[in-house]
Amino acid sequence: MVRTKILEKLNYYQKVFRQSEKEVIMVKEYINPSGLRMPKGFLSQAIKAGNTIYISGQSAFDKDGKIVGEGDVIAQGTMIFEKIKLIVEAAGASMSDIVELHQFFKTREDYVSFSTSDVRQKFFGDHRPTSRGLVVTDFRHPGMLMEVSAVAVVD
């Protein structure tokens, strides 16, 4: 009864699994900071499950849905990492809690330009999350040069 009342009071939370005869509750918190545009479709900017935060693929669209830095992978990457920072902070974490990055680039040249820039250094300092960089055939919007998703773990 008490557990039910607590779950009802927690906005955007839900029970996700049971383990053996002892009930274990893990809640999911949907993270959609007000400073960002609400994603179209059936998704969230991030989900915090336990102490892990899964951040959706971020692209360089501003709050009004306009692409930032068209033709400039450094400007787009900066915008993307600003959004990721806003999301992890809204989830009660920091950039140093990010443990994995998935980076997708439109061209090999964009990958090299971004990888040799200081954008990641500005956002992560000495922290070095694991990373994956892939060149993809295309994105959903012709002006997109990159997209980044991430995973963070909070101690």
Give me the sign of the Cα torsion angle 57, 114, 80, 26: positive
* Domain locations along the chain: 35-153
CA nearest to 141, candidates 24, 61, 28: 61
Ranges of beta strands (E only) in 9-127 are 28-31, 46-49, 52-58, 98-105
Q: What pLDDT digit, counting tens, does each position of 44-76 carry?
A: 999 999 999 999 999 999 988 899 999 999 999
Contact 122, 77 (CB under 8 A): no
pTM exceeds 0.85: no
Classified as helix, coil or strand, 83 is helix
SS3 content of the chain, % helix, strand, coil (to 5): 30, 30, 45
pLDDT band at 42, cuts 50/70/90? confident
Q: The domain at 35-153 falls in which architecture? A: 2-Layer Sandwich (3.30)
User: What are the backbone dihedrals phi and psi of residue 96, each rounded to the nearest 5 degrees, phi first?
Assistant: -75, -10
pLDDT higher than 70, residue 4: no
Query: How high does pLDDT run on average in the chain?
Result: 87
Q: What percent of the chain has pLDDT over 70?
A: 85
